[in-house]
Structure 1
Amino acid sequence: MSETKNIKEMSVEEKLRALFDLQLIDSRLDEIRNTRGELPLEVEDLKDDVIQMETRIQKVVEEAKGLEEEIKLKKEAIKNAEALIKKYTKQQDNVRNNREYDALAKEVEYQGLEIELSEKRIREFTIKIEQKNHQISESETKLAEKREHLAHKQAELETIVKDTEKEENLLIKLSTEYSEKIEARLIQAYNRIRGSVKNGLAVVPVERGASAGSFFTIPPQRQMDIAQRKKIITDEHSGRILVDLELAEEERAKMELIIKG
């Protein structure tokens, strides 16, 4: 006998019990996950912050390295200019006329200006490197603090997850198993209702003449229909599926034993 056939052969009462069981399982899962609060999102945000800070620091480090390379090039340019000055000065001793002498003098002067400009650029680059190194140092201090904060939050989250991991895994397994017992149409309705209400309660018992969590009274005749378990009845105000309190208490007791193992 196939699983599909089993689902179709379920009585309305069996469907109501399965739906309420699923609700109990999913509600307990909600409770477990709510104990984590905003921690998972906070951890993810901190991870993103750390990655962004690391990226920014790396960018500044690369910029500082680029400036160091520029300083090397400028020092090399100074060496080349000094060599040319030495060369042109020596050539001045062997010129044939004033025009050649003046031309060499201009070259010496030009190379001197190149040295001055390179030295100026080296001073500027050195200042910028110092600024960037200071920026890197400050950023690395902040990054270390951010990493420490992240590690603390991760440890906090891991402790909470570890404490409830066994139960959560069991509940996930049970949720899947109970969902498979129920026909697709009802599961779709159940999930739709769960997604539309704040507390995730799609199946609720009738308590004190009203659906749980509601102030709207259910007429006596409708309460009798719910207690008979002959058809799926929903709350006209919230859209939740309604079950009678006796059924709810029986299933709560049963599921408590199953979950506790």
Structure 2
Amino acid sequence: MATKSEVTVEEKLRALYDLQLIDSRIDEIRNVRGELPLEVEDLEDEVAGMDARLQKLNADLEVIENQIKERKNNIEEANVLIKKYAAQQDHVRNNREFNSLSKEVEYQELEIQLAEKNIKEFRAQIEQKNQVIEETKIRYNERSEHLKHKRDELDEILKETEKEEKSLIKESENFESSIEPRLIKAYKRIRKNVKNGLAVVAVERGASGGSFFTIPPQVQMEIAGRKKIITDEHSGRILVDPDLAKEEREKMDAMFSKLK
């Protein structure tokens, strides 16, 4: 069995081009999903945020309702004390005691007024919060429905492509492991820096695939000779000849069909 050092340049080029075809197919599948996963994630965050807001608003309402109950209890207690002080006034021995009880009654009446004012303010807050809750619920229901639609859409796409994508990722890893690390590092660097992630391209009409820069005939002959790895001086892409590209595309298309 040949070691990696004994692999010919042509075999390396074929392996690199096959890897490119696999990675490009993975890119295509992910492009079909597009921004949908991020859109679903954003909607989930938005809906969760509105749910948290509704919970807080309802908790606030409970606090306000308890404050109203507290003020009503204060009013009842104040009325009880007023009756008590009024009854005591009928049995006072002097004006000083009468005036002292009068001040207590006056104080309790002020307490009732304050409590009634508080209750009015609390009820206004309840009305305002109920309005916000109603508006938030409408928005929450709308966004939840939209989220459900987007999740269904994403699930359908994932259902159609998940199996193929997993198989392709496994194939990509297998091909990577069969190529020397130096070339894989170069491949990944180029792929990251060029348009559409195309690091290995075929010569088309005398130019690098996807480029308008003509490749000199002598260089084209060297590429066709498959004796050394040649890169495009303009884009840095690794170049392969059209015949090799055609052969590998046919081979990989057959593999892709089996993975679907």
Query: What TM-score, normalized to structure 2?
Result: 0.95
Counterpart amino acid of 2:17?
F
Equivalent position SS for 2:239 = strand
Stretches of structure 2 lacking an aligned partner (at least 5 in a row): none
Give 1:62's match in structure 2, choosing from 45, 59, 62. Answer: 59
Q: Specify the code of the residue in structure 2 equivalent to 1:123.
A: K
Unmatched segments (≥5 aa) in structure 1: none
Residue aligning to 1:207:
204
Counterparts of 1:6 and 1:141 in 2: how far apart (Å)? 66
Matches within 5 A, 1:1-261: 6-261=3-258
Partners of 1:11 and 1:79 in 2: how far apart? 98
Separation (CA, whole Å) in 1 of partners of 2:180 and 2:57? 59
CA distance in 2, matches of 1:66, 1:233: 74
Q: Which whole-Å deviations, capped at 9, do the CAs of 1:164-195 have from their partners, x for residues lacking one? A: 12211111111111111111111111111111
Deviation at 1:224, TM superposition (A): 1.1
SS at match of 1:64: helix
C-alpha distance in 2, partners of 1:107/1:183? 96
Aligned length: 258
RMSD: 1.3
TM-score by length of 1: 0.95
Q: Using a 3 Å threshold, how does the CA distance of structure 1 residues 8 and 84 change in structure 2: closer, same or farther? A: farther
Amino acid at match of 1:130: E
Per the TM alignment, residue 43 of structure 1 is displaced from its structure 2 partner at its CA by 1.0
Report if the CA contact (8 A) 1:170-1:259 is conserved: no
Deviations 1:43-71 (A, max 9, x none): 11111111111122222222211111111
